[in-house]
């Protein structure tokens, strides 16, 4: 009896634990790659994820709050953004032109991997979305955005890692690895020209697929895609295409009022924004945020001790009646400029109040990625460089008149007109991540002399046009991880 009871007991215990699914586990913070593209509704989530990548803390480095890392790097490398102090060191060695020539630096690693991350996600979507169940309209919109992202990402990178595109030359220098399918092998670099061919093919395909409607301004619709096309054409000196696409891109968008101009550049409902992201409170990037470096009023160490200033030489070119002149304080004492409290930030002459956080408790804010003003400036510049000066003056007038009530239609022509347009471009787009790209595409030198750059901080005051330093180095880990399939730029 005792033994029988015991055996039954043992048997029961033995059976109790044998469940078929006992060893099958799955995470709760992720979803299996097998189910993401089941339906187009799910596929949309992969697109939204790419939009979110625009404002995400990257690689554990506080400089990299998503695309804002690229934006600040591009201005730090230029002459129009002035660092007022070393602060906690962020962006200083970029400002000094050291890091983009250092194979182990963040600026090289990020500008390469970040954009390839957009490309790899786009490639997955493009490879899988056709098999998903759902409407064709959804599929077109999803594919259109994925293609536009791939085009944009390659364009953002090729301008850094390749030699400057020169329409008059073959552009057969090394560009980037061509990744247009989700494969895992190491892929060698192809020429700059081939990359631009793919960039144009993708953006043309995207424009064909996309319409004007979208969920919100973080999405890429046909306007944004045309804006990309305009930027690409501008970099390739295809002036007519640039002017045409820029004009089409801004259709339906009006310029902001002078009141709106002073509102802190942090709200994507602004009528002028064609593309931008909306960062909500629980999607914060903390001290990685664009506004943790570029605003005047968020309480970060960087802003307290290195509020960003404008080049005094550029500032002095702005008309006194131009609303934009209100964005910078030439005295460094104007208490109308908000600064961080508790403990107080430092003030410096020419510090900005262009970018402000709405709530000083939070570093978040919407960031403009494409504005109608930029499109007008592309129109003006492309026309001016293409001997369409009347159109150029008119485009410039449309913009500047909105900023400065005393502005009258320009009477300049030739280089003087181009210079005037470029001055307005520098002022209008200050801090929005264009300056290094502009200097490089125009084959101009860097010249920080005669302005308020701090001699003990700036490191590099001039760089001649065409210098080898205009080309970023490929990050060392790419050379390592591809076992030499990807090769380095000239050192």
Partner 1 sequence: MRIIIPLLLAFSCLMPGAFAQNRSVTGKVTDAANGQPLSGVSITIKGSKTGTTTDAEGSFRLQLPSGGRSLVASFLGYGTKDVVIGSASALVITLARQESDLDEVVVVAYGTVKKGEYTGSSAQVSAKDIQNRPITNVTNALVGSAPGIQTTSSSGQPGSGPAIRLRGFGSITASSAPLIVVDGSPYAGGLANINPEDVESISTLKDASAAALYGSRGGNGVIMVTTKKGRKNRNTLQFKVTQGSTSRAVPEYDQVNAYEYYPLMWESFRNVLQFTNNIPKADASGLASGTYPRFTSGANTGRQIYGTGAYDDIFRLLGGYNPYRGVAPNQIVLPDGTLNPSASSLIYTADDLDWFKAFYRNGSRADYTLTYSGGNDKSDYYGSFGYTNEKGFVTRSELGRFTGRMNINTQPTKWFRTGTNLSASVVKSKFPAEGGIVNPFSFARGMGPIYPVHAINPATGERVKDALGNTYDYGNIPAIGFRPVNQGRHAIYENMLNLAQWNRNILSTRSYADIIFTKDLKFTTNIQYDVQDYQEEGFENRFIGDGAPSGRASRDISKTQSYTFNQLLSYNKKFNRHNVGALAGHENYWLQVNGFSGFKVDQLFNDGNTEFPNFATISSLSSQTDFHTIESYLSKLNYDYDGKYFVTGALRRDGNSRFYKDVRWADFWSVGAAWRLDREAFFKVSWVDELKLRGSYGSTGIEAGIGYYPYQGLYALGFNNNTAGGVLQSALPNYALTWEASNSLDLGVDFSLFKNRLSGTIEVFDRQSKDLIFNVPQPLSNGGTTGGGFSVAQNIGNMYNRGIELQITGEIVRSKDFSWSTTLNATHFQNQVTKMPALVPEIISFPHQLKEGRSRYDYFMRDFYGVDPTDGAALYRNVLTYNPTNSRIFDNYQIGGYAFDNGYAGLMNAGSQYGGSLHKDQLLRWRNPGDITNVPRMQNDQGTNFAGSSSRFLISANHSWLNNVNLSYDLPKSVLDKIGSSAARVFVSGEGLWLFAQRTGMLVNQSYDGQNSNTYPPARVVTAGLSVNF
Q: Which of residues 453-482 bind partner 1 (CB under 8 A)?
A: 455-456, 459, 475, 477-478, 480-482
Interface stretch with partner 1, choices 7-15, 194-202, 230-238, 399-407 (CB under 8 A):
7-15
Residues in region 307-346 near partner 1 by CB under 8 A: 312, 330, 332, 340-346
* Binder of partner 1 out of 90, 109, 165, 291 (CB under 8 A): 109
The Cα 18–Cα 5 span in angstroms is: 21
Calculated CA dihedral for residues 69, 75, 76, 77, nearest 10 degrees: 110
Residue whose CB is less far from partner 1, 52 or 139 = 52
Which structure tokens are listed for 114? 């970040």
Interface stretch with partner 1, choices 114-122, 135-143, 250-258, 391-399 (CB under 8 A):
114-122
> What DSSP string runs through 327-380?
GEESSS--TTS---TTTTPP--TTEE-SS--SSTT-----EEEEEHHHHHHHHH
Residue whose CB is less far from partner 1, 136 or 281 = 281
Q: What is the 3-state secondary structure (H, E, C) of 110-161?
A: HHHHHHHHHHHHHHHHHHHHHHCECCHHHHHHHHHHHHHHHHHHHHHHHHHH
* Binder of partner 1 out of 137, 361, 409, 465 (CB under 8 A): 361
Closest distance between partner 1 and the C-beta of residue 227, in Å? Answer: 19
**Any contact of residue 159 with partner 1 (CB under 8 A)?**
no
Residues in region 218-237 near partner 1 by CB under 8 A: 218
The Cα 466–Cα 445 span in angstroms is: 8
Strands (E), 52-99: 81-82
Which structure tokens are listed for 44? 């949309």
Provide CB contacts within 8 A for 180, sequence distance 6+: 123, 150, 198
Interface stretch with partner 1, choices 175-183, 224-232, 387-395, 406-414 (CB under 8 A):
175-183
Closest distance between partner 1 and the C-beta of residue 255, in Å? Answer: 25
The Cα 63–Cα 491 span in angstroms is: 25
With left for phi above 0 and alpha for psi between -120 and 50, is residue 247 left, alpha or beta? Answer: alpha
Q: Which residue has the tokens 């970099």?
A: 235
**Any contact of residue 20 with partner 1 (CB under 8 A)?**
no
**Any contact of residue 23 with partner 1 (CB under 8 A)?**
yes
Closest distance between partner 1 and the C-beta of residue 132, in Å? Answer: 14
The Cα 258–Cα 264 span in angstroms is: 12
**Any contact of residue 349 with partner 1 (CB under 8 A)?**
yes
Residues in region 378-437 near partner 1 by CB under 8 A: none
Answer whether the bond into residue 343 is a cis peptide, omega within 30°.
yes
CB 62 within 8 Å of CB 374: no
Size of the site for partner 1 (CB under 8 A): 106
CB 127 within 8 Å of CB 139: no
Closest distance between partner 1 and the C-beta of residue 239, in Å? Answer: 32
Residues in region 40-79 near partner 1 by CB under 8 A: 44-53, 56-60
**Any contact of residue 25 with partner 1 (CB under 8 A)?**
yes
* Binder of partner 1 out of 90, 95, 97, 116 (CB under 8 A): 116
Sign of the alpha-carbon torsion through 202, 208, 213, 215: negative
**Any contact of residue 124 with partner 1 (CB under 8 A)?**
yes
Interface stretch with partner 1, choices 113-121, 144-152, 256-264, 412-420 (CB under 8 A):
113-121
**Any contact of residue 240 with partner 1 (CB under 8 A)?**
no
Question: What SS3 class is residue 457?
Answer: helix
Residue whose CB is less far from partner 1, 161 or 355 = 161
Residue whose CB is less far from partner 1, 326 or 461 = 461
**Any contact of residue 2 with partner 1 (CB under 8 A)?**
yes
**Any contact of residue 267 with partner 1 (CB under 8 A)?**
no
The Cα 208–Cα 225 span in angstroms is: 10
**Any contact of residue 30 with partner 1 (CB under 8 A)?**
yes
* Binder of partner 1 out of 128, 257, 284, 386 (CB under 8 A): 284
The distance from CA 180 to its chain's CA centroid, rounded to whole angstroms, is 21
* Binder of partner 1 out of 301, 394, 413, 488 (CB under 8 A): 301
**Any contact of residue 172 with partner 1 (CB under 8 A)?**
no
């Amino acid at each position: 009896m005792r033994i029988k009871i015991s055996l039954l007991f043992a048997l029961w215990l033995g059976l109790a634990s044998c469940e078929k699914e006992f060893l099958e586990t799955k995470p709760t913070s992720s979803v299996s790659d097998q189910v993401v593209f089941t339906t187009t509704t799910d596929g949309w989530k992969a697109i939204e994820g790419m939009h979110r990548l625009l404002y995400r803390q990257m690689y554990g480095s506080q400089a990299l709050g998503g695309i804002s890392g690229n934006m600040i790097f591009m201005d730090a490398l230029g002459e129009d953004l002035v660092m007022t102090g070393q602060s906690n060191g962020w962006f200083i060695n970029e400002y000094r032109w050291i890091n983009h020539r250092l194979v182990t630096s963040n600026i090289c690693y990020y500008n390469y991997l970040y954009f390839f991350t957009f490309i790899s996600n786009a490639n997955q979507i493009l490879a899988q979305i056709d098999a998903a169940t759902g409407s064709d309209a959804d599929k077109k919109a999803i594919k259109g955005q994925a293609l536009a992202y791939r085009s944009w990402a390659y364009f953002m990178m090729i301008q850094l890692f390749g030699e400057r595109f020169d329409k008059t030359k073959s552009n057969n220098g090394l560009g980037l690895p061509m990744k247009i399918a989700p494969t895992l092998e190491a892929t060698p670099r192809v020429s700059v020209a081939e990359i631009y061919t793919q960039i144009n093919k993708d953006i043309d395909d995207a424009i064909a697929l996309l319409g004007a409607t979208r969920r919100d301004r973080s999405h890429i619709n046909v306007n944004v895609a045309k804006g990309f096309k305009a930027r690409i054409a501008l970099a390739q000196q295809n002036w007519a295409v640039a002017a045409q696409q820029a004009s089409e891109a801004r259709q339906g968008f009006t310029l902001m009022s002078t009141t709106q101009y002073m509102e802190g550049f942090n709200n994507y409902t602004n009528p002028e924004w064609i593309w931008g992201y909306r960062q909500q409170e629980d999607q914060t990037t903390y001290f990685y945020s664009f506004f943790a470096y570029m605003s005047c009023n968020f309480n970060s160490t960087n802003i307290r001790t290195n509020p960003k200033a404008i080049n005094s030489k550029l500032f002095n070119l702005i008309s006194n009646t131009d609303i934009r002149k209100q964005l910078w304080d030439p005295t460094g004492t104007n208490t109308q400029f908000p600064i961080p409290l508790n403990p107080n930030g430092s003030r410096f002459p020419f510090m900005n109040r262009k970018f402000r956080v709405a709530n000083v408790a939070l570093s978040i804010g919407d960031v403009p990625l494409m504005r109608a003003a930029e499109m007008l400036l592309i129109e003006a510049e492309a026309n001016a460089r293409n001997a369409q000066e009347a159109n150029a003056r008119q485009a410039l007038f449309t913009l500047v008149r909105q900023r400065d009530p005393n502005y009258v239609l320009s009477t300049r022509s030739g280089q003087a007109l181009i210079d005037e347009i470029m001055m307005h471009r520098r002022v209008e787009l200050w801090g929005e991540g264009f300056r290094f790209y502009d200097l490089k595409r125009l084959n101009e030198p860097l010249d920080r002399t005669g302005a308020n750059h701090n001699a003990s901080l700036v490191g590099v005051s001039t760089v001649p046009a065409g210098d080898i330093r205009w080309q970023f180095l490929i990050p060392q880990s790419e050379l390592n991880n591809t076992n030499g399939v990807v090769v380095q730029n000239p050192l």
